[in-house]
A = this chain, B = another copy of it.
Amino acid sequence: MKLAIAQLNLVIGDLTGNAAQIMAAAQQAVEKGAQLLLTPELSLCGYPPRDLLINPSFVETMTATLQQLARDLPPLAVLVGTAEPNRQSQLSGGKPLYNSVALLAGGQVQQVFHKRLLPTYDVFDENRYFEPGQQPNVFSLGGWRIGLTICEDLWNDEQFWGQRNYATDPVGDLVEQGVDLIINLSASPYRAGKQKLREAMLQHSANRYNQPIIYTNQVGGNDELIFDGSSIACNRQGAIVARAQAFERDLLIIALDEAQRDLLPGSVAPAPKSEDAEIWGALVLGLRDYAHKCNFTKVVIGLSGGVDSALVAAIATEALGAQNVLGVLMPSPYSSDHSIQDALALAENLGIATQILPIAETMAAYEHTLGPAFAGTPAGLAEENIQARIRGNLLMAISNKFGYLLISTGNKSEMAVGYCTLYGDMSGGLAAIADVPKTRVYALCHWLNTKAVALRGKLEIIPAHILTKPPSAELKPGQVDQDSLPPYDTLDDILQRLIDQHQSLAQIVDAGHDPAVVQQVVQMVARAEFKRRQAPPGLKITDRAFGSGWRMPIAARPTIAISSLM
């Protein structure tokens, strides 16, 4: 028997379009001799559907689409992810839906399986919508007894984690029941290094239970989340015998070894060669899909001559093609000559069009208008923010006039400490590198330059001067970032401990940081919450991004045990 994994790039809510994608994959799978097709978790509506699930007519349409799909499919069995009504909910008090997989075959829905472990942490809200399934999910096909798990169901191997994440263990339950093969339908979002973790976990479970495991992932960007694909199959020994492409649609065929009740070796796509390569792939996919799924073909980016906008322009160029990227330079009287030169050199390297819109005249108009109100006050933050907001307004004007998606260019370090202007440089439909710390921005640019010949036929993509000059917002004469912030390597280490690792201040100080600097950073992070609340969606590449998985109060005064530090 042969199975096929359809690593699909689904559009949230587009039931008709997603069903058509499943149909096309099924036809391909039949041509390649497969008898069973696996699709990702909730493949019919795409993951995550979020509050679309609250609309009863959406769920009804999903059910009707599923039934039509069952009738239309070619002759093979197909597992389709769908939200199934919980008909007991009003009587027994549970949530109204299950996160389910339907086994379609012979023109009908043959069996429906329910997800048992519902992630409700970080970006995941599954307890908001779903009731957990209570039964192990098993079906038989072609003489194989197959255990089915849905995404999180696989993530509770207490040997691997060193602790239990949930009370029940769906994999252990399946092994106890006796199955020949465990399959998993996932929509597992990307973060740097996650595929290594997934592979280690799957290999551990396959080996522990002496059980082949096939893991199917969604691919593509859906708002802030990037699904990286990289579906894999492990044999009984825990060796990876097949891997689908990272960051691309794929159809992967896996042949079963009937005699050994195991998987035969198949096609193994290479994993990205470095974490920078991996993050680059994720960001390119995330930007491309956000633009296309929002019906944009072109983007506009403000080019300051700095490293952040340079990286974002390079990502956009790779994602959409140079002809679809417009860089806008908006020099002020405080812009240095090299800013213009560096931005133009970058645009030349990328082959993208540019426009220059100087802001001095508009600055003067604001200054004149506000003159009476501001009389006698020293120039400061208010005046700096006006400049950033003029630029935001100009970029949005181009976006509105020509239908270009504005991509904002702020990095995670800035977003963390609020070193950015709300309605200014934070403006945009998507924040491409909002989850990339500044030190990683530099690393990605250096990595990118090593690929310059391969990607663009150039000796460099990011001009060297952009990478060597001190970072500056250029909102007043001679300003550099390090006037206001600790050095970025220090800042990023503190932020990583604080945000990703939830370390206490004492722990961060114990790691060797200056208590005064730690306190300053913690206060800056807390005070910037109001800005982050109004930020555009930012592509998530770390464990803890400032997006839907970051839920902090604004009007708060968290008691923090810092006095002992000082």
Contacts and interface: CB of A to CB of B under 8 A. Distances in A.
Interface of A: 11-17, 46, 48-52, 54-58, 60-61, 65, 90-94, 120-121, 125, 127-128, 156, 158, 163-168, 221-223, 289-290, 293-294, 355, 357-359, 361-362, 364-366, 368-370, 373-374, 377, 380-383, 385-386, 389-390, 392-394, 396-398, 400-401, 422-423, 427, 429, 502, 504-506, 530, 533-537, 548, 550-561
B393 A366 contact: yes
Contacts of A366: 362, 393-394, 397
Contacts of A58: 558-560
B61 A423 contact: no
A551 B422 CA distance: 22
A293 B526 CA distance: 13
A303 B94 CA distance: 48
B381 A400 contact: yes
Contacts of A128: 120-121, 125, 127, 551
B50 A552 contact: yes
Given A359-B369, A502-B54, A553-B49, A558 B14 contact: yes
A551 B128 CA distance: 11
List 10 tightest A-B contacts by C-beta distance, closest first.
A93-B164, A57-B504, A13-B558, A293-B555, A382-B400, A382-B401, A12-B556, A365-B365, A127-B127, A15-B559
A312 B51 CA distance: 30
A506 B55 CA distance: 13
B396 A370 contact: no
Contact of A163 (B90, B289, B533): B90
B290 A555 contact: yes
Contacts of A167: 92-94
A160 B50 CA distance: 29
Given A52-B556, A385-B400, A369 B373 contact: no
Given A14-B556, A54-B502, A396-B385, A362 B373 contact: no
Contacts of A61: 559-561
A553 B48 contact: yes
Contact of A223 (B13, B90, B553): B553
A49 B559 CA distance: 12
Contact of A385 (B13, B397, B423, B535): B397
A505 B393 CA distance: 37
Nearest to A502: B55
Contact of A222 (B381, B429, B553): B553
30 contacts: A13-B556, A13-B557, A13-B558, A15-B559, A49-B553, A50-B552, A51-B550, A57-B561, A60-B504, A61-B561, A93-B164, A120-B127, A121-B128, A125-B551, A128-B551, A222-B555, A223-B554, A294-B530, A358-B369, A359-B369, A362-B365, A370-B394, A370-B398, A373-B398, A373-B401, A385-B397, A389-B423, A423-B423, A530-B536, A534-B535
Contact of A393 (B16, B164, B289, B393): B393
B533 A554 contact: no
Given A13-B556, A121-B128, A293-B555, 19 more contacts: A13-B553, A14-B557, A14-B559, A48-B553, A52-B552, A55-B502, A58-B558, A93-B164, A120-B125, A357-B373, A362-B366, A362-B369, A366-B393, A366-B397, A370-B397, A382-B397, A385-B396, A423-B423, A429-B530
